[in-house]
């Protein structure tokens, strides 16, 4: 039953994102697997795609530098979240937009792990010092006149990026690496990857029309639902 539930969840994830995938960079892997048991250490939240995040909400606000320190206190590998690929940014932003927690973010959203190089208006990821190649700047950003600015996600504007003085006290968004899947879960993941690899490649190369693919995915989704329901009836 667990396997069919995983298949159904995967079908829904792919079906919901087909239009995005058709126009996305080839580096984006839109088969975004659901969370699994033991994915993240406490107090981090497991997010689809194998991500582990800790949102402080407006319950705790601090400067960019102190936020980095608190993330490291929460976990030895903790740091402000860094989105080095488009997929990571999609996963994190989707989580934040759809988050149902009632605490909220206040007037401005959380710090992430990007920092300005001096007064250059050029930003990098703090841990790797790598330049930011994938971003989601709000209109007219970055523009802050101060030096060494941090990057925050504007909760009032779909979590687009804004640059602010790193001394500003804001909520923060930490991350840690996820724990490995169990051997059984890895095998299921490999099976599911094989099921959808051809579909992904076809969409990326645009060898098939989106409408045709949508019909195929709807058919697969319906069949997965039927198999799940049949299995439920067998199990009583």
Cα four-point dihedral sign 95, 178, 22, 223? negative
The two most distant CA atoms of the chain are separated, in Å, by 66
Angle in degrees, 0-180, between the axes of helices 183-205 and 2-16, rounded to the nearest 10: 30
**pLDDT the model gives residue 202:** 64
- Tell me: do 151 and 205 sit in the same domain: no
- Tell me: do 85 and 158 sit in the same domain: yes
Q: Are strands 45-47 and 150-154 parallel, antiparallel or unpaired?
A: unpaired
pTM of the model: 0.67
Q: Is residue 10 domain-resident?
A: no
Q: Is residue 105 domain-resident?
A: yes
- Tell me: do 130 and 71 sit in the same domain: yes
Location of structure tokens 């995967």? 10
Give the CB-side neighbour count of residue 28, counting CA atoms within 13 A: 22
**pLDDT the model gives residue 26:** 40
Q: Is residue 14 domain-resident?
A: no
Domain count, the chain: 2
CATH number for position 152: 3.10.100.10
CB 62 within 8 A of CB 167: no
- Tell me: do 174 and 186 sit in the same domain: no
- Tell me: do 203 and 91 sit in the same domain: no
- Tell me: do 220 and 138 sit in the same domain: no
Q: Which of 46-50, 169-173, 180-184 has the lowest mean pLDDT?
A: 180-184
Give the whole-number percent of the chain exceeding pLDDT 70: 64
Using DSSP, state whether 103 is helix, strand or coil.
coil
Give the sheet arrangement for strand 150-154, strand by strand.
Answer: 123-125, 111-116, 150-154, 160-164
- Mean pLDDT (the chain) is 79
- Tell me: do 99 and 193 sit in the same domain: no
**pLDDT the model gives residue 174:** 98
Give residue 62's domain range: 45-178
Q: Is residue 9 domain-resident?
A: no
- Tell me: do 146 and 77 sit in the same domain: yes
pLDDT band of 197, cuts 50, 70, 90 = low
Q: Is residue 36 domain-resident?
A: no
What is the C-alpha separation between 223 and 217, in angstroms, rounded?
A: 10
Q: Is residue 29 domain-resident?
A: no
- Tell me: do 204 and 170 sit in the same domain: no
Give the CA distances from residue 212 to residues 18, 25, 207, 219, 222, in Å, rounded to whole numbers and listed in that order. Answer: 11, 21, 11, 11, 16
- Tell me: do 117 and 201 sit in the same domain: no
Q: Is residue 103 domain-resident?
A: yes
- Tell me: do 61 and 160 sit in the same domain: yes
- Tell me: do 104 and 194 sit in the same domain: no
Beta bridge partners of 207: none
Tens digits of residue pLDDT in 103-129: 899 888 999 999 999 888 899 999 999
Q: Is residue 13 domain-resident?
A: no
């Amino acid at each position: 039953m667990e396997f069919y539930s995983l298949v159904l969840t995967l079908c829904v994830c792919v079906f919901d994102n087909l239009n995005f995938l058709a126009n996305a960079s080839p580096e984006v892997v839109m088969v975004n697997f659901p969370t699994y048991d033991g994915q993240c250490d406490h107090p981090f939240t497991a997010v689809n795609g194998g991500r582990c995040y800790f949102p402080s909400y407006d319950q705790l606000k601090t400067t960019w530098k102190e936020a980095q320190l608190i993330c490291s206190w929460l976990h030895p590998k903790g740091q402000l979240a860094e989105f080095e690929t488009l997929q990571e940014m999609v996963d994190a932003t989707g989580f934040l937009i759809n988050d149902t927690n009632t605490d909220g973010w206040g007037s401005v959203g959380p710090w992430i792990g990007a920092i300005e190089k001096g007064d250059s208006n050029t930003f990098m990821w703090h841990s790797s010092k790598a330049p930011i190649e994938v971003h989601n700047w709000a209109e007219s950003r970055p523009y802050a006149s101060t030096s060494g600015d941090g990057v925050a996600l504007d909760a009032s504007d779909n979590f687009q990026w804004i640059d602010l003085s790193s001394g500003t006290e804001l909520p923060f968004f930490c991350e840690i690496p996820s724990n490995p899947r169990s051997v059984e879960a890895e095998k299921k993941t490999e099976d599911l990857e094989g099921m959808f690899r051809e579909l992904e490649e076809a969409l990326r190369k645009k060898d098939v029309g989106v409408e045709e693919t949508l019909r195929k995915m709807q058919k697969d989704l319906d069949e997965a639902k039927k198999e799940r329901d049949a299995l439920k009836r067998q199990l009583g």
